[in-house]
Structure 1
Amino acid sequence: MLPKQRVIAAINHEEPDHVPTGENAVDYELVERILGHATLYNSRWRERQALWDGRRAEIVADYGTAHVELVRALEWDYVRVPVVPPDRAVHRPVMTGPYSWLDERGREIRYHPESGNIATPVGMSEMTLDDLPDPEEPVSVDPSELEAVRHVVRELGDTHFIIGRSPVDGTFPFQETVGMEGFLIRMVTDPEFVRWAIDAYVSRSIAYIEAMLDAGCDAIMTTDDYSSNRGPVMGPGRFREFVLPGIVRQSQAIHARGGYFIKHTDGNVWSILDALVEAGVDGWHGIQPSIGMDLCTLKERYGDRLCFFGGVNCETLVEGTPAEARAEVRYAIQHAAPGGGLVVTTGNVLQPGTKLGNYLAARQATRDYGAYPIRPQALA
């Protein structure tokens, strides 16, 4: 069975020959250890500096080749590929500090080295409806943004399952607007602003969704998070009122082009899982067993409706031992693999600080325990 067929079987709740696996992204320091050479792929501040220095072509090349090399080196069944910066002139911005600068809108942006690769505006400005994009305005995707996607599809598309990552989700666009606190407040004080913003940014996400599927991706993953470790930050009621309609639009757009919809959202999502199923989500990534998202319980409640992408805590790969990593994979396969519906992966990405030995132990555990038919009692 080809890796692509393996993942499709799992999503369709059929038993493949083996539990499939893969990852969403890998921190560059780990990539360099695995592949044995330097890379600009996912290299955080180094990648941003390279773009400002006019080295876009190197970034694009490394994003294309790194994904292919990682799949082959680690024997993944799926890989997630993002868009790359468009092929246009980039000027070094005006710096306001060691890790902060002014963007084209005049906003101060601050990069957070300790976070991996997150840059956020400093002090979100006041916005009105007039400052938001028009939801009805046609959105076009620069073809150059799909260069890495097309490379990976050429190299692996016949054999492996390719997930495109939309650069904008739009269903909870607080970063694009007034910040999380401000956006949550406006759900109460200015719901028209919130609905308009979500409509506008979801329309942009759908443009990327359609472009990536047309480029040969098998699935799309959107990545807005909605929950803390206690539950959805806006509450399940406002999630249904404001956020869910955008997810439904994305689901319809993906399925209209024959793709699968994989939703990443982590945290405690028990109270919104029914809504994700109703929206037509095929697979869910972002499972955090360490905060109570137990795969055994998830399988009992949603095993015939959602394919689970997960099983390994990121914290275990950073702070744990190889034996603990193997035990998590074994537990996931024992409880969630029978009948299909499981793709073993981490709850987020292979993040900075991940111990290679821990990840390789988890990867080997999938090989050791993942052959079908799964015999749960033998893994107990």
Structure 2
Amino acid sequence: MTSRERLMKTLRFEEPDRPPHFEHTFELVEEAFGLSYPGEDKMNASTGLERERLFGQCAEVYTRIVERFEWDAVLVWRPAMRNSAQYEFIPFLKRYLGSDIPVGSFVWDSAICIDTVKDYMQFSIDLFEDRGKLHKWAEEMLDGALKHAERLIDAGCDLISINNDYAFNSGTFVSPEDFAELTTPYMKELVGFIKKQNVKVIFHSDGNLMSVLDQIIVINPDVLHSIDPMAGMDMAEVKKQTYGKIALMGNVQCNLLQDGPDEKIIESAKYAINHGSPGGGYIFSSSNTIFKGLPLRNYEIVLEYFQKRFM
């Protein structure tokens, strides 16, 4: 079974030969391969043969990741989203990796969320006194997100991850009622636009989303990431509520990946697989990213368990 077949089968809620695996991002490139991505300024200023050389340097990193860690898809994080070179790089990478590996990218800052609110005092006032102002802001962000998503689709993306953090470990940063008013309709439009182009959508948020899980089902992405166990997101319960509607990705606990011990890392991976994979609809990954500072060996421990179980 190819990686593309494996991913698409699990998104149809059918059991593939094994759960697909990839990560949102992998920041341990230097530790794993002794390589680095070209600088963003250098990439943005490049043209012609120099740009093609830099693209090849990036593509080699992604190829190494896919081959060593047996990823079933790639989300492009370098060149960065705000670098226009990414629109050219995506088709380059697709040719480089071949048709069996789905390639995607990110849409950031597309909604009112923890990351986009900069003045919480003013935001709190506006929640009570000027909803129109907040809706105008949400519409402006949606407009920018739609334009960016369209360019990613034109570049050939197979999947797009919409990244907005809506919740802390204790729960969402606004009430479920405010989420339904200020987030759901805008994200539903963005997700619907992308899916109409036959591109798969990942909906990413850290934190405890249980109080708005019904709203996320209304928004209707293909995948929900990160199912954060540190925030009380229990894979068994989330799977129960979303199965057949939204596939799940994540749930391997990031603080354990960073700090260990080994047996707790394996225990977290085992729980995610046991409760996420039956019946399809689960992509095996960490509950965030493989971030800088995380010991590479701990990620390898997870993959060794995964491989022993399925390969």
TM-score by length of 2: 0.90
Match of 1:147 in 2: 88
In 2, the alpha carbon distance for the partners of 1:359 and 1:366 equals: 11
Match of 2:270 in 1: 330
Amino acid at match of 2:89: A
Deviation of 1:53 (Å):
11
Match of 1:2 in 2: 2
Contact 2:115 2:165 in 1 (8 A): no
Match of 2:73 in 1: 78
CA displacement, residues 123-153 of structure 1 (integer Å, 9 cap, x when unaligned): xxxxxxxxxxxxxxxxxxx5x3313322222
- Which among 220, 223, 230 is matched to residue 283 of structure 1? 223
Within-5 A mapping of 1:154-173: 154-166=95-107, 168-172=108-112
Contact 1:323 1:361 in 2 (8 A): no
- Which among 64, 72, 81 is matched to residue 69 of structure 1? 64
In 2, the alpha carbon distance for the partners of 1:255 and 1:201 equals: 19
Q: How many residues align?
A: 307
- Which among 279, 289, 306 is matched to residue 349 of structure 1? 289
With over 3 angstroms needed to count, the CA separation of the structure-2 counterparts of 1:197 and 1:292, relative to structure 1, is same
Contact 1:283 1:308 in 2 (8 A): yes
Aligned Cα root-mean-square deviation (Å):
2.6
Contact 1:277 1:306 in 2 (8 A): yes
Within-5 A mapping of 1:178-327: 178-327=118-267
CA displacement, residues 322-376 of structure 1 (integer Å, 9 cap, x when unaligned): 33222222111111111001111111111122111110111122222246xxxxx
Within-5 A mapping of 1:124-143: none
With over 3 angstroms needed to count, the CA separation of the structure-2 counterparts of 1:213 and 1:267, relative to structure 1, is same
In 1, the alpha carbon distance for the partners of 2:55 and 2:29 equals: 16
CA displacement, residues 50-109 of structure 1 (integer Å, 9 cap, x when unaligned): 559967958655443322221122110121114736999xxxxxxxxxxxxxxxxxxxxx
In 2, the alpha carbon distance for the partners of 1:173 and 1:182 equals: 14
Deviation of 1:253 (Å):
0.7
In 2, the alpha carbon distance for the partners of 1:317 and 1:299 equals: 22
With over 3 angstroms needed to count, the CA separation of the structure-2 counterparts of 1:313 and 1:156, relative to structure 1, is same
Contact 1:231 1:267 in 2 (8 A): yes
Deviation of 1:203 (Å):
1.2
Contact 1:25 1:80 in 2 (8 A): yes
In 2, the alpha carbon distance for the partners of 1:320 and 1:177 equals: 33
**SS of residue in 2 equivalent to 1:23:** coil
With over 3 angstroms needed to count, the CA separation of the structure-2 counterparts of 1:268 and 1:31, relative to structure 1, is same
Match of 2:23 in 1: 23
**SS of residue in 2 equivalent to 1:345:** strand
The reply to whether residue 38 of structure 1 matches residue 35 of structure 2 is yes
CA displacement, residues 250-285 of structure 1 (integer Å, 9 cap, x when unaligned): 111111101111100110000111111111111001
With over 3 angstroms needed to count, the CA separation of the structure-2 counterparts of 1:184 and 1:8, relative to structure 1, is farther
With over 3 angstroms needed to count, the CA separation of the structure-2 counterparts of 1:158 and 1:86, relative to structure 1, is closer
More helix by share: 2
TM-score by length of 1: 0.74
In 2, the alpha carbon distance for the partners of 1:190 and 1:162 equals: 41
Deviation of 1:298 (Å):
1.4
In 1, the alpha carbon distance for the partners of 2:125 and 2:98 equals: 44
Contact 1:68 1:152 in 2 (8 A): no
With over 3 angstroms needed to count, the CA separation of the structure-2 counterparts of 1:259 and 1:55, relative to structure 1, is closer
Q: Which runs of 5+ in 1 are unaligned?
A: 42-46, 89-141, 372-380
With over 3 angstroms needed to count, the CA separation of the structure-2 counterparts of 1:330 and 1:87, relative to structure 1, is closer
Contact 1:283 1:307 in 2 (8 A): yes
In 1, the alpha carbon distance for the partners of 2:232 and 2:82 equals: 44
In 1, the alpha carbon distance for the partners of 2:93 and 2:219 equals: 29
- Greater shift after overlay, 244-253 or 56-65? 56-65
In 2, the alpha carbon distance for the partners of 1:177 and 1:52 equals: 30
Deviation of 1:230 (Å):
1.1
With over 3 angstroms needed to count, the CA separation of the structure-2 counterparts of 1:148 and 1:183, relative to structure 1, is farther
With over 3 angstroms needed to count, the CA separation of the structure-2 counterparts of 1:157 and 1:280, relative to structure 1, is farther
